[in-house]
Amino acid sequence: MGYALVLFGEVAAPALVVGSEAPPDSLSIRSQVSVADYRADFVIGYAGRRAVVECDGHDFHERTKRQARRDRKRDRDLQAAGYAVLRFTGSEIWGDVVACAREALLSLEVPGVPA
């Protein structure tokens, strides 16, 4: 039996990363969460570690200096609130959505996720 992380539904079909064992009880995956005055695409948590996963489409991220500045400020604020921040571009997600989901889970050292 495995478990899954639904990563991205905005640009690509939702992706599943299957682990080799049942998910740990302390693994949490939530979408569209309010964090530090922002709405995060996903917040994942495991064993006291937390990460915000942002799924960045080209139209709203880094197309202009203003957008890039806004995203950097957001990242700093989220980090100051105790969250690691992982950003994936639309191209990364389209290219290998499973690898993006796997990277997010591995960043929290979730057991049973294939490397």
First to last CA, the chain: 17
Q: How many residues does the chain have?
A: 115
Q: Are strands 49-56 and 38-46 parallel, antiparallel or unpaired?
A: antiparallel
- DSSP bridge pairs for 30: 43
DSSP 68-106: HHHHHHHHHHHHHTT-EEEEEEHHHHHHHHHHHHHHHHH
Express each pLDDT in 30-52 by its tens digit.
888 899 999 998 899 989 999 99
Parse the chain into domains and list their residue ranges.
Answer: 28-93
Express each pLDDT in 71-101 by its tens digit.
899 999 999 999 999 998 878 877 887 788 8
Architecture of domain 28-93: 3-Layer(aba) Sandwich (3.40)
pTM of the model: 0.76
Q: Are strands 49-56 and 84-89 parallel, antiparallel or unpaired?
A: parallel
Q: What is the pLDDT of residue 61?
A: 52
